[in-house]
Amino acid sequence: HVEAFVLTALPPASTNESGARNLGKVGIRCKHCAVGAAGCPLEGHKRARGAVFYPKSIRLVYQAVRNLQRFHFAACHAIPQQVKDEFESLKKEKRSRSIGDAHLYWEESCRKMGMVDTEDGIRLQTPGCFVVAAEAGTSESPVLSFLDATGAKKN
């Protein structure tokens, strides 16, 4: 329910300075806000607070995801109630804090997807391409996924 994306263009009516500063950077967002119930991205003022983060480094992606889970999910109007109920059920079944080196898993996964730290935030090693690993048990080589401004796959 969380996805990584690259801001490749500003929305047509955008006058947001932070949006311009984030062009080309990898962000983390609520996938339900990215594509609302009508199949269109929710406008910023219609999203619950904390729907999008631009972590300054790969090391901070884990915390951004935790913030989405802890603060945004409960307030998000775009997440179906069934998904919220399932999330709450999972939280009750497991310990409230992640065990061990969960942050290291997130860091390694980000690097495998082609994310790199730069002086002005996380970017993709190959601009416009996330590396998506092949399904386990297949002989396929990794696939490059090109994303448009909404984060939708182009290929």
Tell me the pLDDT tens digit for each residue of 27-52.
998 888 877 555 556 666 677 888 88
Collapsing DSSP to helix, strand or coil, 139 comes out as coil
Residue range of the domain that includes 42: 2-146
Question: Tokens 């993709």 label which residue?
Answer: 124
115: number of Cβ within 10 Å: 23
pTM over 0.75: no
**Distance between alpha carbon 134 and the CA centroid of its chain, in Å?**
20
Write the pLDDT tens digit of every residue in 127-152.
777 776 554 444 443 333 444 444 45
The number of folded domains in the chain is 1
Which contacts of 100-106 are long-range, i.e. CB under 8 A and separated by 24 or more positions?
102/62, 103/59, 103/62, 103/63, 106/61, 106/62, 106/65
Domain for residue 151, yes or no? no
Residue 114 domain-assigned (yes or no):
yes
The answer to whether position 21 is within a domain reads yes
